[in-house]
Amino acid sequence: MSMMNRRNVLVTGSLAAAGLATAVSVDQADANTLNPPAPETSAANPAGRFANQVVLITGATSGIGETTAKAFASKGAKVVFNGRRAQLGQQVESQIRDAGGDATYIQSDVRDPQQVEQLVQATLEQYGRLDIAFNNAGIFMTPVEIQEMDLDNYRDMMATNLDGVFYSMRYELPVMIEQGSGIIINMASVAGHRGFANTPHYNASKHGVIGLTKAAATANAKHNIRINSISPLAVDTPMLRRSFEYQGLTYEQMAPNFVTPRIMTTDEMARAVMFLASAEATAINGMDLDVTGGQLA
């Protein structure tokens, strides 16, 4: 394989490693590449705009999920979140509460439908309703082509990224239908719009998420339920960094390949989720929101 072709394969594998619920600190050396413009503030987005709304987030022990949980809590929401790593989950819960927010961590695994059902039930038992769900939990694995893929790795990818979203909606929707309203946001990816050669398992899982989102949105609009997804590109997470390290790449090398030549932040993803969950997005349903900085244009 030529150096150029090899680099193209590495780039596409790295592009697919987006939308994962993990977080990482930003090195000072990355500041120019990573720091986005400061978010705008206005009277339309005051603190407390999600006051007393109950929000359920899967995969929120770090990364996009963690940032989104903290963001919702800071705006007055009552947040329930899960994840497999108890120590991290308890840490996030404590941080939210120490900041004056309302949060409950429940250790569970979205690959297990019974645990997902119990997660939704625990939310109802604690707060009595479910207003917003962000089905965010996901994983990424070492890039590999189909003929070389380990079958167990393939099954784990699909069980987490696709089945986990299905199970979540399977148990969230009856609650929302009964109460007559609800909002669901699912985590998709740029990989749900592309066919990256060396991440077919990840591509398949994220194409599936977008399909599930559209089907569920069409079926449940009559119940006053909106369902959308977001598709990130490369978001600053430990898993993205590990992917780059495995391939011998750096953020500085990769950023120029993007239409917006920088790595996105978890704060930007959280703001996109909150927009879709807000009163400003009442006409948006069945859409996959491009949060790639224009990569899908």
Write phi, then psi, for 240 (nearest 5 degrees).
-65, -45
Q: Which domains does the chain have, with CATH numbers?
A: 49-235+265-289 (3.40.50.720)
**167: helix, coil or strand?**
helix
| pLDDT score, position 223 | 99
| Total-model pTM | 0.86
Which has more confidence, 141 or 121? Answer: 121
φ, ψ of residue 56 to 5 degrees: the values are -110, 130
Q: What is the identity of the amino acid at 167?
A: Y
| Cβ(59)–Cβ(137) below 8 Å | yes
SS3 state at 43: coil
Q: In the chain, what is the straight-line distance between the N-terminal and C-terminal CA atoms, in Å?
A: 30
**Cα dihedral: 211, 214, 216, 220 (round 10):** -170
Contact 44, 84 (CB under 8 A): no
Position 293 pLDDT exceeds 90: yes
Q: Is the pLDDT of residue 197 over 80?
A: yes
pLDDT at position 222 over 80:
yes
pLDDT at 125: 98
Q: What is the pLDDT of residue 16?
A: 52
Of 100 and 240, more confident:
100
Show which residues are catalytic. Answer: 202
What is the arithmetic mean of pLDDT over 73-90?
98
Q: What is the pLDDT of residue 34?
A: 39
SS3 content of the chain, % helix, strand, coil (to 5): 50, 15, 35
Q: pLDDT, tens digit, for every residue of 7-57?
A: 343 344 545 554 433 333 333 333 333 344 333 333 444 468 999 999 999
CB atoms under 10 Å from CB of 261, counted, come to 11
Average pLDDT over residues 233-245: 85
Tell me the average pLDDT of the chain. Answer: 88
What residue ranges in 136-224 does DSSP mark as E strands? 182-187
The pLDDT, as a whole number, for residue 238 is 74
pLDDT band of residue 243 (cuts 50, 70, 90) is confident
Bridge partner list, 125: none
Assess whether pLDDT exceeds 50 at residue 105: yes
- Per-residue model confidence as pLDDT tens digits over 157-177: 999 999 999 999 999 999 999
What SS3 state is found at 81? strand
Is the pLDDT score of 5 beyond 60?
no
State residue 117's pLDDT score: 99
